[in-house]
Structure 1
Amino acid sequence: MTTGPGLSVETGAPTSADSAPTGQTAPAFSPLYQQIKTLLLRSLQSGEWKPGDAIPSEFDLAARFRVSQGTVRKAIDELATDNLLVRRQGKGTFVATHAEQHIQYRFLRLLPDVGTLAAQGSAERRIIECRRLRASAEIARQLELRTGDPVLQVRRVLAFAGVPTILEDIWLPGVAFKGLTLEALADDKGPMYALFETQFGVRMVRAVEKVKAVGAEAEDAALLDVPLGLPLLSVERLAYTYNNVPMELRRGLYRTETRHYHNELS
């Protein structure tokens, strides 16, 4: 059926009182709440609602898409499960942001053997370097760029309770992060991903990691203040923004004398 100029949605026979949403393109033959989820995701991608913003009420969204509030609620529930939206009792539903305490360590799986990471407070950060360079073939492949495209490389050390714990090398697409400097990174006291949201409009929504054990090499050992050859956990993370666009390649070396890598599988 036609839903607007140049836009159409294919649907089968109606299975509920809802009809397909109008005004935007949605996947054909998918459950109606999934179509609404896709349309809400597109609004997030386009920046209609920015991190931290309240989205319209279920009533208003139901009217906008011409579906029931129950259908909208189910779509929002899935986006909340994906950590893209956050429900706040009595206040509404908001776009998730890495500035929130319970989300800022979302991708960090290194936990203390005793206590919780959040209980230790924010990590102390030392930016070692921030430089612009041309992407190697391997970096370009992972970030879906062309070899030689501009990228930003950041090296930093994260310490907890004064103990250097994580050494990270980070590569970012140069165009998306134009203007990011060592001074800006050093001066900012919030989570790095929150800075990416507010200053560059880039939100990391999911990540894929590869983990293996390595021995500390000379430069790594010096920066982490550990003996040469000490076993470290090497974690390579590729983080994506909306629409599965890779926006960050991060390679970290983790000390694990008093910490462990924790993940929940389902």
Structure 2
Amino acid sequence: MSRPPLKPSNRTPIRQAAVSPTFSPLYRQIKELMVRALGAGEWAPGAAIPSESELAVRFGVSQGTVRKAIDEMAAENLLVRRQGKGTFVASHNDPRSFYRFLRLTPDDGAVRQARSEPLSCRNAAATDTVARVLRLQVGDPVVVLERLLRFDGDPVVLDEIILPADIFGTLTLDMLKHADRSLYSVFESQFAVRMIRAEERLRAVAADVQVASLLGVAEGDPLLLVERVTYTYGDRPVEWRRGRYATGHYHYFNELS
């Protein structure tokens, strides 16, 4: 007999009932409640979550059910297990996740030191395309920034990044220039936004005069255009990024399984 969706107990600050249909596995219902807690900021990035036994009591299920929910969240990089220490909310401040979404690899396999160089940060109005991608209204305010990503000093990626101003409206070029962490770490620490997943589309383009000058290539040289839409909790798109990659000594690498 299928069990009805769970509701959090009176001890939990989450007030919404689970909206999963009755045929949803029980652990998935627990996962949904935990993701809502993450989105509501109940557990901050880098913070430890309650133990499996505490969560089992909270949700009125077995520890095995909680463990299965946590396993799936860890596989999706929402949580991080640390041997002997517990389970923590994943954070962009973890050096292992600095370039989690960057799939650019040197041809020789050597490790290269990456550095972000902000170029501009301005306010703009959402065009038809921007509004469609970020689920905004045409004319809504957005923030547009450009930055170079250098590897061992060499410019390799030129990014144009568009962000909804209702979240990132106070972002400034000075803030970016003085940041000593990855861009997503800045978004997380300054705006409480964590990037959960991304969708990318790749195509080949030719370098125009301005892009060629910034990337140190010849006009007309082939570049890899990587368009990325990044989502936060609640599957809300919060970033549209268009990166032009100089692949003279680098390649795009993605492991499939």
TM-score by length of 1: 0.90
> Would the aligned equivalents of 1:169 and 1:251 in 2 still touch at CA under 8 Å?
yes
User: How far did 1:114 drift?
Assistant: 2.0
Correspondence 1:41 to 2:35: yes
Q: Report SS of the residue matched to 1:175.
A: helix
Aligned CA RMSD, in angstroms, stands at 1.3
1:210 lines up with 2:201 in the alignment:
yes
Unaligned runs of 5+ in 1: 1-11
Spell out, residue by residue over 1:223-254, the C-alpha distance to the aligned partner (whole angstroms, 9 max, x if none). 00111111110000000001110000000000
Q: Which residue of 2 aligns with 1:90?
A: 84
> How far apart are 1:197 and its partner, in Å?
0.8
1:65 paired residue among 56, 59, 74? 59
Cα contact 1:215–1:229 (8 A) shared by 2: yes
**In structure 1, distance between residues paired with 2:46 and 2:185:** 10
Gaps spanning 5+ residues in structure 2: where? 9-15
Q: Which amino acid aligns with 1:56?
A: P
Q: Which residue does 1:107 correspond to in 2?
A: 101
Q: Are 2:47 and 1:53 aligned? A: yes
> What residue identity is the alignment partner of 2:31?
K
Q: Deviations over 1:149-199 (max 9, x none)?
A: 000000111110111000000000011012110000010010110111111
User: Aligned to 1:53, what secondary structure does the other structure show?
Assistant: coil
Residue 219 (str. 1) matches residue 210 (str. 2): yes
Q: State, as a whole percentage, how many aligned pairs show the same letter.
A: 52
The corresponding residue for 2:112 is: 120
Tell me if the contact between 1:166 and 1:253 (Cα under 8 Å) persists in the aligned partners.
Answer: yes
Matches within 5 A, 1:133-172: 133-172=124-163
Amino acid at match of 2:6: P
Pairwise CA distance, 1:145 = 0.5
Deviation at 1:25, TM superposition (A): 1.8
**1:65-121 per-position Cα deviation (integer Å, ceiling 9, x unaligned):** 0111111000000000000000000111011011111111111011111225xx323
Task: Give CA deviations for 1:122-168 in whole Å, capped at 9, x if unaligned.
Answer: x2222111000111111111100001100000011111011100000
TM-score if structure 2 supplies the norm length?
A: 0.93
Q: Give the count of matched residue pairs.
A: 248
Amino acid at match of 2:174: E
